[in-house]
Structure 1
Amino acid sequence: MAALRPLLLLLLLLLAWSCGGEDVEVLCADSACYTLHRAESTWKNAQERCRDNGGNLAPVRSASEAARLRELLATARWAGPAWLGLALPRGHCVQPQEPLRGFSWVAGGEQGNFSEWASEPAVTCVSARCASLRLPGGWSDRACRSPLPAFLCKFSFQGMCGLLPLAGRGSVTYSTPFGVRSARLAAAPFGTLAEVRCEAAGSSAFAVCKGPLAGGGFAWHPPGPLCPVACGHLNGGCQQLCLDGPGESPRCACHPGYVLAADMASCVPEDSCHPNPCQGSCRPLPGGFECGCEPGYALAADGRGCSDVDECESGPCQHECHNVPGGYECLCPPGYRPAGPAGRQCHDVDECAQPHACPQLCINIPGSFRCTCRPGFQRQPGGDSCLDVDECLRDPCPGACRNFPGGYECLCPPGFIRDGDGHGCSPGEAIPNTISSSSIPGTTSIPWTTSIPRTPGMPTEGLGGGSDEHSADGPRLLLYYIVGSLVAILLLLAFALALVACRKRAAKREKPPAKNAADNYCWVPEQPESRGERR
């Protein structure tokens, strides 16, 4: 097995060289590495290059992850934009009320509520939009097909090895599993091959980050320190003890109560962090340990526990703030939507912009809306529908009144004309749209106003037909009026004549005829007296 180790190291070295390591900026921490690639590409091409090496375009799910990317860009002295792994596919709509505005991380998993928009993305549902990061500032969106001069990748690992310890002078070049070669790594991911060039010996040595080990964690194999020198020179590069024996290379050791750290040169308190005495993270220190907490938590008074920080005490939200473990959420009252950075502000929702919010008129008010009706209509009790008001029930006209949806009109009697608003009549000559009296014997021409004013915007359907039918309403009513009047007059005359005739007939019956004395005598014509000879 020992004979196979040099062959294994040589194989790993050849594999790393065959990947054509790219000279890019890289930052490794915890269980992930972030890379900045200075290469012009579209968002799709950048994602393919990250994926070919086992990663994805970098997500930013927390403030700590955002800080690492800013550190990487600052170290690289890069001020231009770089693609992130945040995109809005075609056919999906921008959601201004959501923290990610409807975008999603290409790496998948929990999308999270963290956002760092420098400007609001363009509202669209038909074009693909992708996000980029730029310092100073934050995220901004642009067309995914437009090229950018750089992109950021993220590669996740099971764990990391620390710096490879060196006993003497030398240089280390790390070849990572994702094809990046760098001499400036603060931590190396699992599977990294380290090439060491020792100045004193003028030779090269190799080590591989292996793990997880039996006791947990990851370490270099061989453990080092490489480039060995005699223990008499700088204690062989060891922190506490340097041991060398006949035919053996110098090796480091620790005093009782301490054990070698992962670099095989430093010493840490024995089992100071195993098992973990902290609620959060544990960092071994000479003679002890140090506990740490995740963002959103604070170290408790005992130095080991972590307590949630109530961010709502600082009043970060415009309306309501809800504290959650490790963070907080801003809530808006009904009728408002989240807006602004991280959704901390609330904007009123215009409900009236929604179709069919009200049957007729809609009035938007802060946090709600109110339905109302047009003039001539009134709200139905217990509902939002609008019913027509029959104004004719109030008898607003001197003559006939005609109701229609949303209003009414007066039909003026003879000798009157309609006012300009159609809601009254005034004495005067009528419009020369009259009914001829020739159709009615014994009558004169009587003018009658028949035009009906229209309320602007009111439909004519359902109001009794077109204008011809409206113009016939006046003559028809006039004819009924004249015929009714004539019939009444004739009935009165007939009744009066009948009454007079009856009275005369009764008078004749009651008065007897006058009698004369001569009625019993016969009249003889008077003879002239004879003056003859009779004496």
Structure 2
Amino acid sequence: VITVLLLLYISPDTRGAAQMEPCRARCSGTRCFAAFHRAADSTAARDGCADLGGHLMTVRSSSIHDILPFLLGNLTGRFWIGLHLATGCPDPAAELRGFRWATGEVGSEFTHWPAAFDGSCSSPRCVSVSQEDDFEWVQGPCGDRLAGFLCEHGLGDPCEARTDARGAAPVYTPAAGSSPPGSTAVRTPPDTKYFCVSGRWQPAPRSCGAHEGVCERRCAENPERAPSPDPPTGTDDPCVALDCAQGCHKDGRASACTCGHGFKLARDGRSCVHVDDCADERRCTGENSVCVSNSVGGSRCVCEDGYKSRSGRCVDVDECASAPCEHKCANTPGSYECGCFPGYKKDPKSPHTCALFCGEEECAAECDPNNRFQCFCPDGYVADERGGDTVCTDIDECSSDYCDDLCRNTFGSYVCACSPGYTLVDQFRCVKNEGPTDEEPEGSGEATSQSFPTTTTATARPEPPRRPSAVSAGGLAGIIVCTVFFSLLML
């Protein structure tokens, strides 16, 4: 079907408003788009589209973006589209970065900004596209005279078919009792072609090749040859019986369910299923950017975890700037990693914090530099004074019978196990296995290394003291002596 925009823009109703015709045009759904190869600044481009009953083109989806290569075809130079920054400064965090479409909308299911987006307050406020820049949305001064502009126009009502006054029946494409916008009617003879535009049949261009050529001739002006439409009939609404999930398109006596953008018609012909725009590899091609499908249709580009949008790019977030780690923090691409000072290790229950660590039978205690009697040891160790120094010594928990059966002491902890025929429960209790078993009788033999769990984990039973009193034995003796001394002075 030849594109109806050639008629929308050069029909008798609009010829007086603007003596121009599109070089190329194409329709998608209920919208039609056309390229005008005429030098203009953004204001003249906007007024040119408005004079023809439309507005500058909005590229709000990947499917509409795919029309641009056809519209610009072999045309060179930049062409205005309907995207501009009305007031204020660009907002890199917004979907359209503070810009808005010619229709006033600020959202979009598709974006195609270049990597070198200018987010400064002095940046240009209008946008154009070109083949040379892979149809990216390039900012430019609104007063620049570019090669042309792209317009958008809505399709109108369907046209009714009937036999003309001479009894000749034109050939309709598609063949139907009522022709949707964009349909053609050919009368033979004299091989005259017409288009359905806004409920009326309009004569087609003499070349009848708008879908292949560039800058076609003007439409023939002989409307009396157009097939005369029948008035609408008073039949019941055919859409009622279809019970469509979203929308319904009536075509004379026929009707069909339709779906909004971001959805497609399911096999049942009534319901709509979501179209995964993220399957398009051209979506969200920026580094560290991912495509997220919306539950209501369409999709949007967001930065991966650990990144944020800045001037149109996803840049790494320095999490260490907020001091999330107790000791050391190393920023990594998209994340960060905590570390600990010597003598400490990451707390497995809280990886952002650090706990004292020895890993040997004895280690030097961690003492307050301002109070040598205020010392601390890792869990599973006890403080011991030796010649004026405090040493942390591993506690042998196995000597305190904290396991039901077998026990193995480890540095800072202990591990319980059971003899063959028994099962370890709650990490310290041994329960006899039920049913017959080929294992040795309970309690027989010696435990092997395989009898113990491979991980060194403290048991759930009441634990022995994990940290000594902050006051050592020597410190306690000093307190007692001082107390007695001051008591005698008061007598």
TM-score by length of 1: 0.41
* Higher helix proportion: 1
Structure number with the bigger relative contact order (C-alpha 8 A, sep ≥ 6) is 2
Question: Is the radius of gyration larger for structure 1 or structure 2?
Answer: 1
